[in-house]
């Protein structure tokens, strides 16, 4: 049922070369073929695999995804067979000659170099795990996780390891900690800042931290690594900034990523402040014949303006598609609308995530904002299985426009984040949130959804009807009374008021 | 942390009388008290209960909600104690004198009539189950479900019944059929039109119909009841339009509701075409001192304009709040933004729902629209437990603006409906849908969410890149080839192409 408008009389089908065959690159290749039956599409990939499910890597290590083959969404062979893409795996792109529109490549298996001419070049090199130049960083037993080979190495090492030190409590660090507990390892998770998930606000990740500890993860917040040394046998010893020493059979470094920008930099393409490849709304770099997509590219923040770079699979896929559209459709192509960084992680039974800006970030940007945090049930409380959900909403003080949202809980976290992300897209205000008409039946929601309640609360705050107190420290020296009804009080184990005397019946 | 701005010197706190103590009325009462500590608030309720969870009634009958007490969100006593509402249960409102601003009430237990003066009156009478004047309609064993007493009667009758005939396959009919199967009854479900869930489009409810049959419900579509007669003993006999006869130990009538408008009609308030009480955006009726909220009220359609009336709990609750806001805050109150009819039902393992307009409705309204239907996985297909999800999106042909959406599947249906409802609120187009940045991690979603894919598909259709064929009848006389890759083909058991010869490897 798919057909192309491409006329067979077209004089010249473009030669398109894509560097990087995972999310952004593979999406671009597939979309290009669907738009143009005749284009010459070459996909260069340094690794052995293309289009693998990188978000699934931790879950194969932990055994939750048993079948390794499931992580290969496409293979070089399937891309060739189904979409007639010329896939060159184990091939490195080493330099771009923008004058002659030529890409120099190096075939790793045969050690042969070649030049590939292009009409359009798409760079989708991705990002590489950060490996700070610490003493002992190259000792055996220290791993990073980026591709299937890294995954295989970690999975093999974990078989004989008893203790694992995970460094960095971002998404990958948390997923690895969870999966290693599934493997019955002794897991220590260390994070430089005083909270897990640094892209979220501290009070919104406390439930995640508790869940980690409840499941046996040793959590060290506000501490970093100053170096590694070889311990006894295969045991590694990690020195912490605090002076402590931790020993472990293996170490997983997940402290962040940096964009793979060397090729772009050498070619003189403009880079952003953090080294990402600058692009316009069609994902064109400073050279209109060269596009950049995915984790290595810089796009813009549609909420407050300015550049942003988001290393996530969803944006990478859609940026690949955007670049392909522009190459084939030209000015008829729709621009990329920017990235807001919606993301989520599951940690045992708890989910937590964020969309748009955090409070922390708004403070850094010196934006005047309002906020509310509410806790409610994910679905009708009288229906079996209702669990607590906490939602934080941030809005522009002057207009009420939603700038960001965060949520945590057992069930329904992804749904509320998605609604908030869509609300941000629609430039909705907290007034609009109050009256969102969401799908309600007892198994699925609440007649007044937690997001409606967040809207009610936001509006009570904006109108001056409610003056929230965010910290009980403000009450020092005064007497604290918990005047909530006994029923509310007893239901609020998540939010007790320490030291408060109950006044209620 | 809640305080009111109300000055104690205010000369006169308003006397507010509310008729109807369930969703809309109870919400109005609670919000009024929170806005005005001093107002006199009287709540008149004909039944014995206020603020009960009417959406939960089928689930107590089926035993899924075991504790009957959980259905009482509030009681007359708790509303009095916590919010100082003067609740008069078992009291009927019999007439309104708008000149003297007086409500005549009748206390059912003491058979006493009284006049209540009001400054503002809120009508939240709800809707009553339709009971067509068929022969035998008043025979014992024929039930409707509106309140806790109806629930108790049905639950008691179901204990001794073996066979149950459910008439009407809307939300309540489906929930009752499901719960009665849980009770191991022999259930027949009959619906006048040729599909269940008539507010949805036929092809989007086929999965629900299959699920009902797979779970043992005898489903009779396109047939109606012409009358009832007494069979042997307590057995009822139902005559169908088709000439068939069905016998059952009990009958549940769930063919729809009509607004309880008598009080409003007698008082000369304006009614809409279907008998609902007309309101403005502050829920005021044609008399500015009388408000109407909930199932009996008519509001407006924010998508295409014009009046609409939606009998659902979410709108009722928020309309009650809107009326309360207007009474206390006057022109500072925010208007009600209309209702789009977002709704969902769970039928065994399948969920199905709708937001905004169906295709059927757009055809009735003679709106030029486009549509797409896509099937995808609810979360990453390589992650355990992925299930199929089908989404339909309808858009305004000229602009691409989303006019409605429907979904069915095992998991994640509510989430996609909520996103579509929010997209409608933000007046987003299918172009926007393509780039919605939704929360993705393998347990929760797909890097290209089914809604992104629906956006891709919509845009392929709008740009002429894809010409969908919605019915294979169009192919009659021609040969049908299934040219999809073998893998796709084998995964598409939900959408086989009957009679098609596979061409793929």
**ipTM of the prediction:** 0.93
In this model, does residue B2 exceed pLDDT 90?
no
Helix axes B313-329, B23-35, angle to 10 degrees: 30
Candidates A56, A337, A432; nearest CB to B442: A56
Q: How far apart are CA A418 and CA A356, in angstroms?
A: 11
Instruction: State how far the alpha carbon of B119 is from the alpha carbons of A297, B102, B227, in Å.
Output: 63, 9, 47
Q: How crowded is residue A496: how many other Cβ atoms within 10 Å of its Cβ?
A: 10
In eight-state DSSP terms, residue A8 is: T
State the pLDDT at residue B123: 98
Q: Which phi and psi angles does A271 have, rounded to 5°? A: -115, 155
Contact yes or no for B55 and A440 at CB 8 A? yes
State the pLDDT at residue A2: 41
Q: Which phi and psi angles does B45 have, rounded to 5°? A: -135, 125
State the pLDDT at residue A462: 96
Contact yes or no for A318 and B419 at CB 8 A? no
What is the model's pTM? 0.94
Helix axes B413-425, B450-462, angle to 10 degrees: 50
Whether the CB-CB separation of A211 and A350 falls below 8 Å is answered with: yes
Q: Which contiguous run of DSSP H or E holds residue B150?
A: helix B148-160
State the pLDDT at residue A479: 73
Contact yes or no for A449 and B314 at CB 8 A? yes
Candidates A2, A53, A343; nearest CB to B439: A343
State the pLDDT at residue B312: 92
Task: Provide, as residue numbers in chain B, all residues whose Cβ is less than 8 Å from the Cβ of A336.
Answer: 435
Pairing mode, strands B236-240 and B245-248: antiparallel
Q: How crowded is residue B232: how many other Cβ atoms within 10 Å of its Cβ?
A: 7
In this model, does residue B474 exceed pLDDT 70?
no
Candidates B3, B439, B466; nearest CB to A353: B439
Tokens 């006057």 found at: B330
Q: Which phi and psi angles does B32 have, rounded to 5°? A: -60, -45
State the pLDDT at residue B497: 61
* Residue B195: both structure tokens together: 């599909």
* Residue B141: both structure tokens together: 């064993």
Q: How crowded is residue B135: how many other Cβ atoms within 10 Å of its Cβ?
A: 12
By CA distance, what is B339's nearest residue in A? Answer: A437
Whether the CB-CB separation of A44 and A105 falls below 8 Å is answered with: yes
* C-alpha of B91 from chain center: 27
Q: How far apart are CA B131 and CA B257, in angstroms?
A: 9
State the pLDDT at residue A490: 60
Contact yes or no for B439 and A447 at CB 8 A? no
Whether the CB-CB separation of A458 and A370 falls below 8 Å is answered with: yes
Q: Cite the DSSP H helix spans in B166-259.
A: 171-182, 206-214
Strand order in the sheet with A343-347: A343-347, A350-356, A402-409, A388-396, A369-377
Contact yes or no for B417 and A431 at CB 8 A? no
The distance of A251 to chain B (nearest Cα, Å) reads: 24
Please state, rounded to an integer, the average pLDDT across all residues of chain B. Answer: 92
Q: Which contiguous run of DSSP H or E holds residue A30?
A: helix A23-35
The distance of A196 to chain B (nearest Cα, Å) reads: 17
pLDDT tens per residue, range A33-43: 999 999 999 99
Higher per-residue confidence, B381 vs B142:
B142
Task: Provide, as residue numbers in chain B, all residues whose Cβ is less than 8 Å from the Cβ of A344.
Answer: 439-441, 444-445
Could you give the count of Cα atoms lying within 13 Å of B4 in the half-sphere of its Cβ?
15
Q: How far apart are CA A170 and CA A344, in angstroms?
A: 11
Task: Provide, as residue numbers in chain B, all residues whose Cβ is less than 8 Å from the Cβ of A55.
Answer: 380, 440-442, 447
Contact yes or no for B415 and A417 at CB 8 A? no
Contact yes or no for A442 and B56 at CB 8 A? yes
Whether the CB-CB separation of A374 and A457 falls below 8 Å is answered with: yes
In this model, does residue B472 exceed pLDDT 80?
no
Q: Which phi and psi angles does B401 have, rounded to 5°? A: -65, 140
State the pLDDT at residue A447: 86
State the pLDDT at residue A236: 96
Instruction: State how far the alpha carbon of B128 is from the alpha carbons of A450, B262, B299, in Å.
Output: 29, 12, 18
Q: Cite the DSSP H helix spans in B369-503.
A: 413-425, 430-434, 450-462, 486-491
- For each of chain A's 505 residues, which pLDDT tens digit applies? 344 444 444 457 899 999 999 999 999 999 999 999 999 999 999 999 998 999 999 999 999 999 999 999 889 999 999 999 999 999 999 999 999 999 999 999 999 999 999 999 999 999 999 999 999 999 999 999 999 999 999 999 999 999 999 999 999 999 999 999 999 999 999 999 999 999 999 999 999 999 999 999 999 999 999 999 998 888 999 999 999 999 999 999 999 999 999 999 999 999 999 999 999 999 999 999 999 999 999 999 999 999 999 999 999 999 999 999 999 999 999 999 999 999 999 999 999 999 999 999 999 999 999 999 999 988 888 899 889 999 999 999 999 999 999 999 999 999 999 999 999 999 999 999 999 999 999 999 888 999 999 999 999 999 998 888 877 665 566 777 777 766 666 655 545 566 666 664 4
State the pLDDT at residue A12: 72
Helix (H, G, I), strand (E, B) or coil at A185: coil
pLDDT tens per residue, range A56-88: 999 999 999 999 999 998 899 999 999 999 999
Q: How far apart are CA A121 and CA A105, in angstroms?
A: 13
Candidates A380, A421, A441; nearest CB to B344: A441
Task: Provide, as residue numbers in chain A, all residues whose Cβ is less than 8 Å from the Cβ of B431.
Answer: 334
For B254-266, give the DSSP string. -S-EEE--HHHHH
Q: Which contiguous run of DSSP H or E holds residue A322?
A: helix A313-329
CA dihedral angle for residue A432, residue A437, residue A438, residue A441, rounded to 10 degrees: 150
Catalytic residue flag (residue A55)? yes
Whether the CB-CB separation of A209 and A222 falls below 8 Å is answered with: no
Contact yes or no for B321 and A459 at CB 8 A? no
For A494, residues 6+ apart whose C-beta sits below 8 A from its C-beta are: A207, A375, A388, A390
Contact yes or no for B467 and A3 at CB 8 A? yes
Task: Provide, as residue numbers in chain B, all residues whose Cβ is less than 8 Å from the Cβ of A468.
Answer: 1
Q: How far apart are CA A305 and CA A298, in angstroms?
A: 13
Candidates B3, B341, B437; nearest CB to A340: B437
Helix (H, G, I), strand (E, B) or coil at A306: coil
Contact yes or no for B383 and A64 at CB 8 A? yes
Task: Provide, as residue numbers in chain B, all residues whose Cβ is less than 8 Å from the Cβ of A423.
Answer: 422, 425-426
pLDDT tens per residue, range B426-465: 999 999 999 999 999 999 988 899 999 999 999 999 999 8
State the pLDDT at residue B483: 74
By CA distance, what is A83's nearest residue in B? Answer: B485
Q: How far apart are CA A439 and CA A420, in angstroms?
A: 15
Candidates B4, B5, B342; nearest CB to A437: B342
Contact yes or no for A314 and B438 at CB 8 A? yes
Q: Which of B53, B55, B108, B192 does the annotation list as catalytic? A: B55
Smallest Cα–Cα separation from B416: which of A379, A414, A452? A414
Mean pLDDT of B248-275: 97
Instruction: State how far the alpha carbon of A136 is from the alpha carbons of A176, A237, B25, B210, in Å.
Output: 22, 10, 69, 62
The distance of A337 to chain B (nearest Cα, Å) reads: 7
Q: How far apart are CA A114 and CA A88, in angstroms?
A: 12
Smallest Cα–Cα separation from B347: which of B488, B215, B191? B215
State the pLDDT at residue B498: 60
pLDDT tens per residue, range B284-293: 999 999 999 9
Task: Identify the residue among A440, A450, A454 best suited for mutation to test binding to B, counting B beta carbons within 10 A and taking the highest.
Answer: A440
In eight-state DSSP terms, residue A473 is: G
Longest dimension (CA), chain B: 85
Task: Provide, as residue numbers in chain B, all residues whose Cβ is less than 8 Å from the Cβ of A2.
Answer: 460, 465-466
The distance of B233 to chain A (nearest Cα, Å) reads: 37
Contact yes or no for A342 and B438 at CB 8 A? yes
Candidates A71, A336, A442; nearest CB to B382: A71
Helix axes B413-425, A413-425, angle to 10 degrees: 20
The distance of B106 to chain A (nearest Cα, Å) reads: 31
Helix (H, G, I), strand (E, B) or coil at B175: helix
By CA distance, what is A53's nearest residue in B? Answer: B382
Instruction: State how far the alpha carbon of A444 is from the alpha carbons of A107, B73, B442, in Å.
Output: 53, 18, 21
Q: Which of A48, A55, A84, A344 does the annotation list as catalytic? A: A55
* Residue B260: both structure tokens together: 């309880």
Of A460-469, B76-85, B325-334, the one with minimum mean pLDDT is A460-469
* Residue B77: both structure tokens together: 């006593």
Smallest Cα–Cα separation from A391: which of A444, A343, A451? A451
Strand order in the sheet with A225-230: A225-230, A236-240, A245-248
């Amino acid at each position: 049922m798919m057909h192309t408008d491409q006329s067979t009389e077209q004089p010249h089908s473009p030669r398109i070369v894509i560097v990087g065959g995972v999310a952004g690159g593979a999406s671009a290749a597939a979309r290009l073929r669907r738009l143009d039956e005749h284009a010459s599409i070459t996909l260069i990939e340094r690794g052995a695999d293309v289009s693998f499910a990188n978000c699934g890597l931790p879950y194969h290590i932990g055994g939750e995804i048993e079948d390794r083959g499931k992580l290969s969404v496409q293979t070089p062979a399937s891309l060739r067979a189904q979409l007639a893409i010329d896939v060159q795996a184990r091939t490195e792109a080493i330099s771009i000659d923008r004058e002659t529109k030529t890409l120099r490549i190096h075939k790793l298996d045969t050690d042969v170099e070649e030049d590939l001419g292009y009409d359009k070049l798409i760079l989708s090199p991705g990002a590489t795990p950060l490996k700070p130049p610490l003493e002992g960083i190259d000792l055996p037993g220290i791993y990073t996780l980026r591709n299937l080979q890294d995954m295989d190495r970690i999975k093999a090492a974990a078989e004989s390891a008893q203790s694992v030190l995970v460094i960095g409590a971002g998404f990958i660090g948390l997923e690895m900690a969870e999966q290693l507990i599934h493997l019955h390892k002794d897991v220590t998770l260390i994070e430089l800042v005083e909270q897990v998930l640094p892209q979220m606000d501290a009070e919104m990740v406390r439930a995640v931290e508790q869940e980690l500890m409840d499941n046996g993860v040793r959590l060290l917040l506000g501490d970093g690594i100053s170096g590694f040394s070889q311990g006894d046998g295969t045991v590694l010893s990690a020195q912490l900034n605090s002076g402590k020493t931790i020993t472990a059979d293996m170490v997983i470094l997940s402290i962040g990523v940096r964009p793979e920008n060397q090729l772009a930099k050498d070619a003189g393409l403009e880079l952003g402040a953090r080294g990402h490849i600058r692009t316009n709304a069609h994902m064109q770099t400073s050279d209109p014949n060269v596009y950049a997509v995915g984790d290595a590219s810089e796009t813009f923040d549609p909420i407050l303006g300015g550049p942003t770079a988001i290393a996530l699979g969803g944006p990478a896929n859609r940026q690949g598609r955007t670049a392909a559209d522009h190459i084939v459709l030209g000015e008829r192509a729709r621009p990329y609308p920017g990235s807001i960084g919606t993301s989520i992680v599951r940690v045992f039974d708890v989910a937590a995530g964020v969309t748009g800006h955090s409070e922390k970030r708004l403070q850094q940007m010196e934006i005047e904002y309002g906020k509310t945090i509410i806790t409610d049930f994910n679905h009708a409380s009288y229906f079996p299985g209702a669990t607590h959900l906490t939602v934080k909403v941030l809005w522009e003080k002057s207009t009420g426009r939603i700038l960001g949202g965060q949520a945590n809980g057992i069930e329904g976290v992804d749904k509320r984040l998605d609604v908030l992300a869509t609300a941000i897209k629609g430039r909705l205000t907290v007034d609009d949130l109050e009256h969102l008409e969401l799908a309600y039946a007892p198994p699925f929601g609440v007649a007044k959804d937690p997001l409606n309640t967040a809207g009610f609360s936001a509006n009570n705050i904006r109108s001056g009807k409610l003056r929230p107190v965010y910290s009980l420290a403000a009450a020092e020296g005064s007497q604290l009374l918990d005047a909530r009804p006994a029923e509310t009080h007893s239901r609020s184990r998540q939010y007790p008021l320490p030291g408060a005397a109950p006044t209620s019946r």
